[in-house]
A and B are shown apart, each in its own frame.
Chain A
Amino acid sequence: MLSIRELTKTFASPSGELAAVDRISFDVAPGEFFTMLGPSGCGKTTTLRMIAGLETPTSGAIAFDGRDYTRVPPQQRNIGMVFQSYALFPHLSVFENVAYGLRNRGVKGTELERRVAEVLGALQLDGFKTRLPSTLSGGQQQRVSIARALVYRPSMLLLDEPLANLDAKLRIQMREEIRRIQREFGILSLYVTHDQEEAMAISDRLALFNAGRLVQIGRPGDLYRQPATLFAADFIGRANFFAARLAGRDASGAKIALAGGPELTVARVVALAPEEAARVPADVDGLLMARPERIGIAPGSRGIRARIGRMQQLGGCQRYIVAAEAAVGEVTVDSWRAGEEYGEGADAALTLDGSDCVLFLRPEKSA
């Protein structure tokens, strides 16, 4: 088990100390695929590099299986790492690239050959032993770099945006491949990406970062359905926001009224942090968040009044970009009902189900 406690990294900047990573704590279980997700500059890569030993934490602790790793140099951590640029040794053959870590561990002769062949086999690289990295495709280089990281049976695998240099189709293929290999080796893996879709698709659990802080940890579905902040709601999937007034509370949740629309009961109520409360319009108590596929759209005026702005055909569903009277910003609605289409400029009504929504309340209204 990997334990991160109060991990902090500050850099000196012209405007004073800047916390790139600010008191991050989490645990990763053996065999778990754990992803650190966030926009660029959020601290996820710095965190990964501290776990690798490539950066020294300013404070906090990293422990693995009860052993303190915080000040252990990277050579002695016995970890495998896959870099965004792959960082294959350009002057060494595929075989020697993969054998590199074994040689550092004093493995020689037939044992070395056997183990390199084994891992090359697992990554479908059998025929490439003597090739130089520059003669391989991006996907093949990626496999070699994974093979190099796994061959010495590291205690964990760190992956730093490993798919960022691949084209879209290969990216999806490779992420399945990475997941398969991770399961096959049963290795605790830490994955860094800024692509939320990738993170959702590949992870057992993920940690969302923003501005050096850990925003939320959970399984992909939890983060999608129950975002803990407006940032999380926005960053993972698409989010629509409606201005909401608090009408009352009871055991089943908060009763709210939307401007010009019906009243709803919302079970999932989140108190906003002060810095996010500024996004709530002045005359209301909070924002109601609904996912595009959880909003109903129908002709007439029974619901939230709306006007269709644009329609996009996404294949499986129609996406409507809609102006609605209660909404804060544009509303995106994904409709899966076949055959039913609304023209641009048409009037429509939106319907919400309180059990699909999350209510973000001003801090002073949440008590």
Chain B
Amino acid sequence: MSDARALPRRPDRFFPLAVGGAAVAIALLFLIYPLANAILGAFVRNGQPVTFANLTLANFERFLTSVSYQRALWHSITAGAAATALATAISLPMAYAVARVAMPLRATVLAVSVLPLISPPFIGAYAWIILLGNNGIFTNLLRDYVGVGLPSIYGFFGVTVALALSYFPYVFLVLQGALAAVDTHIEEAAAIAGASRWRVLRTVTLPMILPSVAAGMLIVFIKAIGDFGVPSILGGEYQVLPTLIYYQIHGFFNLNGAAAIAMVNVALTLLALGALAWINRARAVATVSGTARRAARPLPAPLRWSAIFYVWLVLVVANLPQAVTVLYSFSERWGDTLLPSIYGLENYRRIVGEIAGPALNSVILAGAATIVCLAFGAITAHAATRGRIAGRWAVDLIIMVPFVLPGLVIGVAYLAAFNEGALVLTGTATILIMAYFTRRVAFVFRSAAAAILQLDRRLEEASTICGASWATTMRRVILPLIAPALLAGGILVFATLIGEISVTVLLYSARWKTLTIAIYEYLLGNDIAKASAFGTVTIVMTFALVAAASRLAGRNMADMFR
């Protein structure tokens, strides 16, 4: 019959090959090359080309000889560990309460719990100075009315607390998920066997979620040792590896030296990552299939209300920095009182002329990066979940490693890779866009991969059988079906990029100054009023976008960060 003649004649290999080839080229150029280059660069003296003869460990010698290097390493480890411990201590009871206690507004609690993750940590860090700094509101109130002096917020104490409060949601979410998944029948069996409530918790529940506790802790640790914003605001003389990298570049433009520090930072991260992978394997075995049933045994009322109170207390304290930033932006005078004495829009009037440029830059850069993430993420996700390509794990690795590496490390790698040679991108929008893409493509990749995995594979086969080419199947079947997931992933990328600083701070130029850089400069210049107005705009934008994404995906905001 004549129909068959209209079928595509050309072997259907061109499109997948072209698209796949482009994806591989991008991965090679913007994911693998900069990192490989930085690794090699760390073993060469500053300014020298990478040759076998030039290889040296000189850049690492500083860790043996320089006190400031050793301190920074030590500070990274101790502040990271302390922040992790604090975050876990906060999260354990909170996760138990949210998972097991009959809690009003549980969905709201979960959504609010991720707000600290969404707002840029360095903006929050500054709010702690407003509250608890040498001339902070609480500091002054306590000194004047109670007569108590607070320890200085600068240094170990402030960095640890701010990091813990910024990143605790990661461990909280993992724990809450694990606790909700534990089959409550097991606990009931223990109770029927005569164990007290406390004994059940200690001998049954906690051991079962222990791998999850460890996994959550490692995520917090990885995030904490990679954070630049918080220590750069609250650290002062207290340096950590990311700030040390920053000063190596800003002070000396010593790319190779910075690369060496970055490698140490990476080594710490990979160590934690390896432990995480190991624990996750154990977790996969131990995870009990979750009956969605909630614990049947209600807590006595006083205990229950204390639990609810505790949960909200944590939420309020963790979101205090964001609240203070917003409040400050609307205040015209905030002296020695708990709340501002005069409210007004003066701060916004002052930034009207200045915000348009950086805001537009942020939107353009984040928007372009989001588009690249969407195209690349969707294609690689399809290849990784459906393709018959060898080495899917390699795709996973290439996408996930830049995601977990500290932003400063990516920044250093990009500077070193694209500062000279065949492809010079320093100072351009492209370098920021591609660095953003590198750090965020995992959001789209994971979201798209999850959506594709849920699609019946037969849909693609049915489309093929019906005579559709690869491109037609993509355009008419797969893309429409994963569009909501793609969009949600894209918005998440966009939203979190609006608040990005750790890569931006190394790669931005006068032409491409972003919102976050503007805020950072105001903070360094002590213009808190403008910074808070800028910060409020940033926070509101990101919150609104993430809320929209969660709406689109039909998921709780909290689930987008699990």
State whether B467 touches A73 (Cβ < 8 A): no
How far apart sit A73 and B4, CA to CA, in the bound complex (Å)?
Answer: 13
How far apart sit A152 and B1, CA to CA, in the bound complex (Å)?
Answer: 9
Mark contacts of B345-374 with chain A using CB atoms, 8 A cut-off: 1 yes-contact digit, 0 otherwise. Answer: 000000000000000000000000000000
Query: Which residues from chain A contact B462 at a C-beta distance below 8 Å?
Result: 81, 83, 87-89, 145, 148
Q: Does B456 contact A (CB under 8 A)?
A: yes
Q: Report the stretch among A4-12, A100-108, A233-241, A284-292 that lies at the interface.
A: A100-108
State whether A106 touches B8 (Cβ < 8 A): no
State whether B468 touches A104 (Cβ < 8 A): yes
State whether B480 touches A91 (Cβ < 8 A): yes
| Minimum Cβ distance to chain A for residue B483 (Å) | 9
B462 and chain A: residue at smallest CB distance:
A87
Mark contacts of B451-470 with chain A using CB atoms, 8 A cut-off: 1 yes-contact digit, 0 otherwise. Answer: 00000101101111111110
Checking A74, A80, A106, A155 against B464 with a beta-carbon cut-off of 8 angstroms, the contacting residue is A74
Q: Does B521 contact A (CB under 8 A)?
A: no
State whether B480 touches A152 (Cβ < 8 A): no
Mark contacts of A125-167 with chain B using CB atoms, 8 A cut-off: 1 yes-contact digit, 0 otherwise. Answer: 0000000000000000000010011001101000000000000
Q: Does A85 contact B (CB under 8 A)?
A: yes
Contact of A85 with B468 at beta-carbon distance under 8 Å, contacts A76-B7, A78-B3 already known = no
How far apart sit A107 and B3, CA to CA, in the bound complex (Å)?
Answer: 8
Query: Which residues from chain B contact A105 at a C-beta distance below 8 Å?
Result: 3-4, 6-7, 467
Interface residues of A in 50-90 (CB under 8 A from B): 52-54, 73-81, 83-85, 87-90
Checking A75, A79, A106, A155 against B12 with a beta-carbon cut-off of 8 angstroms, the contacting residue is A75
Query: Which residues from chain B contact A145 at a C-beta distance below 8 Å?
Result: 462
Q: Does B108 contact A (CB under 8 A)?
A: no
Q: Does B11 contact A (CB under 8 A)?
A: yes
Q: Does B481 contact A (CB under 8 A)?
A: yes
Instruction: Tally chain A residues at the interface, Cβ within 8 Å.
Output: 33
| Minimum Cβ distance to chain A for residue B390 (Å) | 12
Q: Does B428 contact A (CB under 8 A)?
A: no
State whether A76 touches B8 (Cβ < 8 A): yes
How far apart sit A106 and B467, CA to CA, in the bound complex (Å)?
Answer: 11
Query: Which residues from chain B contact A76 at a C-beta distance below 8 Å?
Result: 4, 7-9, 467
How far apart sit A52 and B468, CA to CA, in the bound complex (Å)?
Answer: 14
Query: Which residues from chain A contact B1 at a C-beta distance below 8 Å?
Result: 153, 155
How far apart sit A105 and B466, CA to CA, in the bound complex (Å)?
Answer: 9
Q: Does B271 contact A (CB under 8 A)?
A: no
Interface residues of B in 432-484 (CB under 8 A from A): 456, 458-459, 461-469, 472, 476-477, 480-481
Checking A81, A88, A89, A91 against B465 with a beta-carbon cut-off of 8 angstroms, the contacting residue is A81
Q: Which of B3, B7, B472 counts the most A-chain CB atoms under 10 A from its CB?
A: B3
State whether A80 touches B465 (Cβ < 8 A): yes
Mark contacts of A31-54 with chain B using CB atoms, 8 A cut-off: 1 yes-contact digit, 0 otherwise. Answer: 000000000000000000000111
Query: Which residues from chain A contact B458 at a C-beta distance below 8 Å?
Result: 83-85, 87
Checking B4, B459, B464 against A78 with a beta-carbon cut-off of 8 angstroms, the contacting residue is B4
State whether B3 touches A152 (Cβ < 8 A): yes
How far apart sit A54 and B388, CA to CA, in the bound complex (Å)?
Answer: 12
Contact of A100 with B463 at beta-carbon distance under 8 Å, contacts A75-B468, A87-B456 already known = yes
How far apart sit A149 and B464, CA to CA, in the bound complex (Å)?
Answer: 12
Contact of A54 with B464 at beta-carbon distance under 8 Å, contacts A87-B459, A104-B7 already known = yes
Q: Which of B4, B459, B463, B467 counts the most A-chain CB atoms under 10 A from its CB?
A: B467
How far apart sit A187 and B465, CA to CA, in the bound complex (Å)?
Answer: 16
Contact of A75 with B8 at beta-carbon distance under 8 Å, contacts A81-B462, A81-B465, A100-B468 already known = yes
State whether B465 touches A85 (Cβ < 8 A): no
Checking A73, A74, A89 against B477 with a beta-carbon cut-off of 8 angstroms, the contacting residue is A89
State whether A74 touches B465 (Cβ < 8 A): yes
Query: Which residues from chain A contact B477 at a C-beta distance below 8 Å?
Result: 89
Checking A83, A90, A104 against B461 with a beta-carbon cut-off of 8 angstroms, the contacting residue is A83
How far apart sit A74 and B465, CA to CA, in the bound complex (Å)?
Answer: 6
How far apart sit A201 and B300, CA to CA, in the bound complex (Å)?
Answer: 65
State whether B481 touches A75 (Cβ < 8 A): no
Query: Which residues from chain A contact B480 at a C-beta distance below 8 Å?
Result: 91
Query: Which residues from chain A contact B12 at a C-beta distance below 8 Å?
Result: 73, 75
| Minimum Cβ distance to chain B for residue A49 (Å) | 8
Apart from the given pairs A81-B461, A104-B8, A148-B462, 16 other A-B contacts in the complex at a CB distance below 8 Å: A54-B464, A54-B465, A75-B7, A75-B12, A78-B4, A81-B462, A85-B458, A87-B459, A89-B462, A100-B463, A104-B469, A105-B4, A148-B466, A149-B466, A152-B3, A155-B1
Closest 10 CB pairs of A and B: A101-B466, A87-B458, A104-B467, A78-B4, A87-B462, A105-B6, A106-B6, A81-B465, A83-B458, A153-B1
Binding site for B on A (CB under 8 A): 52-54, 73-81, 83-85, 87-91, 100-102, 104-107, 145, 148-149, 152-153, 155
A-B contact list, 7 entries, CB within 8 Å: A74-B465, A75-B465, A89-B459, A89-B463, A100-B463, A101-B467, A107-B6
